[in-house]
């Protein structure tokens, strides 16, 4: 079991700034219903909730969800334990779906993408990002718990928003 301190240090390793997602969502001028897949310790979910969005965070790790819930100062994020390849949500139920630093953790990213598309409302937006570079794969393999990453999925860092049914870089 990972401690809250260990999870916090993993967030520091990533050194992420996902404010571009909050900025893009805020362009509509209204709160959006957002699903954060692989929400981990809740950094993105909690940030989006601070901007007034209605956020659901889903993660396979109960340890991560515990940290996420404790760090949610809004107390408005709905955290759920689950599998991103089999989402327990109705078709078209979210305005936006986020998968930040998730796709490199799963063996079947195409199934995660299919599920994200299924739960997106018409004209919904899918945000994804992976920043684990090939050159860092060996470092991550040595320092992170075994079987937490699919090392064959490491790629050049990318952050994009996919607007259903169109693709555009943000």
| Stretch 95-121: mean pLDDT | 89
Task: Give the residue, 145 or 84, on which the prediction is more confident.
Answer: 84
Predicted model pTM:
0.74
CA distances from 100 to 1, 44, 111, 142 (A): 22, 8, 16, 22
Q: What is the pLDDT at residue 138? A: 56
Give residue for tokens 């794969």. Answer: 137
Encode pLDDT of 22-43 as tens digits.
888 988 889 999 999 999 999 9
Does position 128 have pLDDT exceeding 80, yes or no? yes
CB 37 within 8 A of CB 98: yes
Q: Which residues share a beta bridge with 126?
A: 97, 162
What separation, in Å, do the N-terminal and C-terminal C-alpha atoms of the chain show?
Answer: 36
Domain that holds residue 90: 4-169
- Number of domains the chain is built from: 1
Q: Which two tokens stand for residue 119?
A: 């739960």
- The CATH number of residue 111's host domain is 3.40.50.150
168 close to 161: Cβ distance less than 8 angstroms: yes
Tokens 């555009």 found at: 168
């Amino acid at each position: 079991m990972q401690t809250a301190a260990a999870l916090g240090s993993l967030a520091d390793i990533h050194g992420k700034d996902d404010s571009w997602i909050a900025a893009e969502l805020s362009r509509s001028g209204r709160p959006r219903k957002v699903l954060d897949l692989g929400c981990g310790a809740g950094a993105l979910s909690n940030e989006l909730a601070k901007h007034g969005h209605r956020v659901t965070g889903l993660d396979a790790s109960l340890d991560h969800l515990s940290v996420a819930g404790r760090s949610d100062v809004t107390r408005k994020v709905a955290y759920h334990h689950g599998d991103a390849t089999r989402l327990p949500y109705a078709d078209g139920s979210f305005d936006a779906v986020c998968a930040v630093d998730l796709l490199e953790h799963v063996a079947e990213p195409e199934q995660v993408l299919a599920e994200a598309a299924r739960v997106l409302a018409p004209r919904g937006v899918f945000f994804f990002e992976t920043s684990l570079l090939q050159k860092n794969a060996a470092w991550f393999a040595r320092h992170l718990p075994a079987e937490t990453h699919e090392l064959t999925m490491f790629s050049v860092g990318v952050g994009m928003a996919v607007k259903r049914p169109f693709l555009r870089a943000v």
